[in-house]
Amino acid sequence: MKLSRAEEELMNYIWERKKAYMKDLLDAYPDPKPALTTIATLLKRMQEKHIITYKTHGKAREYYPLISKESYFGSHIKGLIKNFFNNSPAQFASFFTEETQLSERELESIREVIDAQLNHRK
């Protein structure tokens, strides 16, 4: 599943709130806010992609996600690794750590995360 940039921005507002009415979503945008019809179109597209759904309360719709943020971005990272790094997480890690010019402290922090995952899996 692939979302456009505008859909991802709106989806982030939904993930933050867990459930939201269209008015809540419109209020979440900074000024200048998009048109209500734009939000409605994005919500419809996201429903068609089975990313969100809604419950009806009277005439209002309360939208909520069908997929977690972690799951969505995890699938994109896996696709990135597959398509750009020969399906090699090691190539991805090498590129990431070299090209982002991380500080020594940031690299140590990443090592701690990896070590914690390794210990958890034992």
Per-state percent for the chain, helix, strand, coil, to nearest 5 = 65, 10, 25
What is the pTM for the complete model shown? 0.78
Report pLDDT for 69. 95
CA angle 55, 42, 37 (to 5 degrees): 95
Which CATH number, 2.60.40.10, 1.10.1040.10, 1.10.10.10, 2.60.120.260, labels domain 5-65? Answer: 1.10.10.10
Query: Residue 77: how many CB atoms within 10 A of its CB?
Result: 11
CB 62 within 8 A of CB 54: yes
> Residue 74 has what pLDDT?
92
Mean pLDDT by 10 residues, the chain (122 residues): 92 96 95 95 96 96 96 91 92 88 90 91 84
Closest by CA to 7, choosing from 81, 83, 67, is: 67
Task: Please state the domain extents for the chain.
Answer: 5-65, 85-121
